[in-house]
Amino acid sequence: MNPFYFIVIIFLLSLSAMFSGLTLGILSLDQDMLRRKMQLGQKDAKLIFPLRKKGNLLLSTLILGNVAVNTTLAIFLGSIAKGVIAGIIATGLIVVFGEIVPQAVFARHGLRFGARLVWLVKIAMFIFYPIAKPISWFLDRWLGGGLPTKFSRRELRLFIREQRKHAEEIKHREFELLERGLLFSATKVKEVMTPKKNVFFLTEDLLLTKETLKKIHYRGHSRIPVLNTKKNKVVGILYSKDLINIDPEYNIPLREIMRKKINFIGRNDKLGGLLKKFQDKKVHLFIVLDKSKRISGIITLEDVLEEIVGEIVDEYDKVIDMREAHKHKDIMKKLPQPKVQNITADAQPKTN
């Protein structure tokens, strides 16, 4: 074979491979992903993104270039060999070296090779523009431009779990926080709250005797809801810090110490909205109500934050998570129990 023919065949095959690889490699790159990489300073993304935005014009140009080169190669081979032999040679060369191999390479390294061949794409766009532009215009009107990539909440969770297996720079704990964050805003209050039967209440007619103060201290809560037993209604909140200067000898009525500002939330409300209410009202405790406005339980700021960061317990905590304890009753049986769950006035000794 004449060396000139060999050089021409190699040249045409190389062009075919580049057009075929670029079609798959660049068009498979997500625009949103390229935009993010470009904002992070990735040079290859900066080169490719302006071309990738052209969408149908880029597609039309690359396919026209590929078809033109493959047709030229087939005609050229036909002038060297005749009949069936030329067809077999042309088909074999184009399929293997012009399609399969380059697409396999560009599918894995589309960003890197695409950035290095931007010059070829720009030349092809200039050459085929009179044909490619009308085709792309028609496709844009008929099919529309490229749609942004959107993920549902479930798809994002699955994506995070998949990335956890392969990512090296992001730690396991950071992936866990991401996943918890996705679940957070869709979680309902009733899934996180402490149910009423596990809540420690005080009654408003209670006297702050020495015994009562001991039991309150034993519980270790910083905020305790105060109940009107007749109406089965929360009428106030006792802040433990307000008991610092209380003298148990005076038997002061609880209703004189409790704070009457109470915040309520529905059991079906979402945690995302509740966290905003915690921030706006600058409080740490909400009383949870059902549809009939009856007490369903309580929820604290700590309960909400734990849905994102996990269990929060410091070295001084005496109180375990009552929701978790209720799930594991065998654990509850091993814990020291006070004589009564809630302190009422009826349980107190009579005083003069």
Q: What is 242-256 written as a DSSP string? A: GGTT--GGG-EEGGG
Evaluate if residue 333 carries a pLDDT over 80: no
pLDDT digits (tens, 9 = 90+) for 252-267: 888 888 998 999 999 9
Does the pLDDT value for residue 232 go beyond 60?
yes
- For the chain, give the mean pLDDT: 81
pLDDT at 328: 46
Who has greater pLDDT, 85 or 148? 85
Mean pLDDT of 3-20: 87
For residue 129, list its beta bridge partners.
none
Asked if the model's pLDDT at residue 320 lies above 60, the reply is: no
Q: Are strands 202-203 and 223-228 parallel, antiparallel or unpaired?
A: parallel
Mean pLDDT value of segment 305-311: 80
Name every residue whose Cβ is closer than 8 Å to that of residue 213 and which is 6 or more positions away in sequence.
243, 246, 248
Spell 303-334 as b/e; 16+ CB within 10 A means b. bbebbeeeeeeeeeeeeebbbeeeeeeeeeee
pLDDT of res. 94? 83
pLDDT at position 331: 41
**Helix residue ranges per DSSP H, the chain:** 3-27, 31-39, 43-52, 56-80, 83-95, 101-116, 118-143, 153-166, 172-184, 210-219, 271-281, 301-309, 322-327, 329-334
> Are 351 and 231 contacting, i.e. CB atoms less than 8 angstroms apart?
no
The predicted pLDDT at position 330 comes to: 47
pLDDT by residue (tens digit) across 22-71?
998 898 888 888 888 888 888 999 999 999 988 889 999 999 999 999 88
Q: Is the pTM for the entire model greater than 0.75?
A: no
- Where exactly are the structural domains of the chain? 3-143, 153-184, 189-347
- Res 344: pLDDT: 55
In the chain, what's the furthest Cα-to-Cα distance? 122
pLDDT of residue 171: 73
Across 95-106, average pLDDT: 89
Angle at 312 between CA 308 and CA 314, to 5 degrees: 160
Tell me the CATH architecture of domain 189-347.
Roll (3.10)
pLDDT, residue 316, reads 47
- Phi first, then psi: give them for residue 313, nearest 5 degrees: -140, 125
Torsion angle of C-alpha atoms 89, 94, 98, 101, degrees rounded to 10: -70
pLDDT band at 268 (very low <50, low <70, confident <90, very high): very high
Report the C-alpha gap between 234 and 226 in whole angstroms: 6
Looking at residue 124, what is its pLDDT?
A: 93
121: helix, strand or coil: helix
Average pLDDT over residues 318-331: 49
The reported pLDDT for the residue numbered 209 is: 87
Instruction: State mean pLDDT over 98-121.
Output: 90
Amino acid at 247: D
